[in-house]
Structure 1
Amino acid sequence: MSAADFLELPRRPPKPRRVGITHVLDAGTGVAALADLLRSAGRSADIWKAGWGTAYLDPTLREKLALLHGAQVATCLGGTLLEIAWAQGADHRCLDWAAEAGFSHVEVSRGTVAMPLAAKRALIRHAATRFTVLAEVGTKDPAEAAVPSAWRDEALGDLDAGADLVVAEGRQSGTVGIYDAAGAVRPEVVEALVAAVGAGDVVFEAPRAAQQAWFVRRFGPEVNLGNIAPGELLGVETLRLGLRSDTAHATARPTLAGRDS
């Protein structure tokens, strides 16, 4: 059956994309499930992050990375594993292992262990010699206040140290960092980041559909969205293209205002 082509939709840039990135958080998808998912939704995925320490435990890791590379999906080592390795003095060994395994990207964060900002920047500089670096900013602690100026300054410093993209903390829960405890966006933090580095250099962790829709309405279909569950890939693409009621009027052409208007 031929591909559907009867609607006028926003144009999506071809892969590899610099904007409109969909960044997936994988909690341990199996090889067969991944192969099936890539057949149906691989065109919508740009970066695939092995969350937490799952890559360290997964005996099928190299097989999965090969599938992802074949589908033009970048592969990213999650920041928590690198933080734990840093705390044990094994960060360089961790990066050696990640390179040998076939990861193209690494996330550098400091939300799990007490890592000084200077150490984070040194780790970014070292990692950037071999990987594309995503630097996460913001706190995982729901009790810690989100100070827009602090997020702005950390993002700018991380990019100067060699990070390619900034990741705005939201966690898998979508209840910390750029969100309040109820999952609502903290617009003052978002706007401070965007004013400092530009929306194109930020991946906004947005695990919930309402959060994804907020960012598409605010910044358009080419906003970078992160921490997307593997099974939500096509759903996020429908939000980007205005194929869901949440974003239909934000992304559609003026004719959607009504055929009789």
Structure 2
Amino acid sequence: MPEPDFLDLPDRGAKPRAVGLTHVIDPGAGPVVVTDLLDSAAAHIDIWKIGWGTAYVDATLATKLALVTGHEIAVCLGGTLLEIAWAQGRAGECLAWARDSGFDRVEVSRGTVAMTPQEKRELIRRAARDFTVLAEVGEKAPGEQNAARYWPGECLADLDAGASLVVTEGRQSGTVGTFDHTGRVRADVVEAVVAAVGVERVVFEAPMASQQAWFIRRFGPEVNLGNVALADVLSVETLRLGLRSDTAVATRRDTAETA
């Protein structure tokens, strides 16, 4: 079947992309689900995060990672597992296991266990020896105060410690960190982080379609979006391209079509 090319759409860079990243969260999908998604949407996925601690208990992990990396998609270990390992004094073992398993990225966060910013930066330096590091900022509980004041400094420090990208907390629910309890974007937080480090260095966790559309309208189709549900990958790409009403710009040609 020929690919359609009759619409004027925004330019989207080809993989491997440096901007316009779509970062998905895998809650423990099996190989059949993964294969089905990759068949239809692999070209639109850049980073595949194995969420929470599912990598630790997934008997099909090796098969899944082989499928994903075979489509030029980076695989990222979720920050919660590394946090728990760090709290137990096993961060080195966790990182060695992740490396040997085939992960090329790790998320470093401090939203689950008690970890100071300095301890987080030390963990970033350690992880950056073997991985591309995504450093997450923000709490996993709703109602975080003064995020616009404190996140920019933490983002800058994390990048200085060796992180390649920063990730703004949104969780799978989309009701914490970057968002209020209703899921509305906290624009002051977003603008403060972007002013500090630049939009190209930030992955905005945005699991809801309304949140994804907000970021695309504000920063354009090449904004980095994270924690996208596996089932929503094609939907997000249509938002980027203006193929949904949320982001569409209506245009009309003056020249009438002829039969």
TM class by shorter-chain length? over 0.9
Contact 2:239 2:246 (8 Å CA) reproduced: yes
Whether 2:165 is the aligned partner of 1:165: answer yes
Q: In 1, distance between residues paired with 2:131 and 2:84?
A: 19
Shift in Å, 1:6? 1.1
Contact 1:168 1:204 (8 Å CA) reproduced: yes
Q: In 1, distance between residues paired with 2:92 and 2:28?
A: 24
Q: In 2, distance between residues paired with 1:97 and 1:246?
A: 42
Shift in Å, 1:260? 5.1
Match of 2:251 in 1: 257
Shift in Å, 1:140? 1.1
Shift in Å, 1:144? 2.7
Match of 2:75 in 1: 75
The AA in structure 2 aligned to 1:144 is: E
The AA in structure 2 aligned to 1:61 is: L
How many pairs are equivalent?
255
Shift in Å, 1:33? 1.1
Contact 1:83 1:109 (8 Å CA) reproduced: yes
Where does structure 1 differ by over 3 angstroms across 4 or more consecutive aligned residues? 256-261
Contact 1:146 1:178 (8 Å CA) reproduced: no
Q: Deviations over 1:183-236 (max 9, x none)?
A: 000000000000000000000000000000000000000000000000100000
Q: In 1, distance between residues paired with 2:146 and 2:99?
A: 34
Match of 2:116 in 1: 116
Q: In 1, distance between residues paired with 2:26 and 2:3?
A: 28
Identity across the alignment (%):
64
Match of 2:240 in 1: 240
The AA in structure 1 aligned to 2:111 is: G
Match of 2:27 in 1: 27
Q: Deviations over 1:41-77 (max 9, x none)?
A: 0000000000000000001101111111110010000
The AA in structure 2 aligned to 1:93 is: E
Shift in Å, 1:138? 1.0
**TM-score calculated relative to the size of structure 2:** 0.97
The AA in structure 2 aligned to 1:100 is: D
CA RMSD across the alignment? 1.1
Q: Deviations over 1:129-171 (max 9, x none)?
A: 1000000001112133142120000000000000000000011
- 1:82 is paired with a residue whose SS is helix
Q: In 2, distance between residues paired with 1:257 and 1:31?
A: 42
Contact 2:51 2:78 (8 Å CA) reproduced: yes
Contact 2:143 2:180 (8 Å CA) reproduced: no
Contact 1:23 1:45 (8 Å CA) reproduced: yes
**TM-score calculated relative to the size of structure 1:** 0.96
Match of 1:212 in 2: 212
Contact 1:25 1:230 (8 Å CA) reproduced: yes
Q: Deviations over 1:93-115 (max 9, x none)?
A: 00000000000100000000001
The AA in structure 2 aligned to 1:197 is: V
Match of 2:186 in 1: 186
Match of 2:202 in 1: 202
Match of 1:17 in 2: 17
- 1:257 is paired with a residue whose SS is coil
Shift in Å, 1:259? 3.5
Contact 1:138 1:146 (8 Å CA) reproduced: no
- 1:150 is paired with a residue whose SS is helix
- 1:34 is paired with a residue whose SS is helix
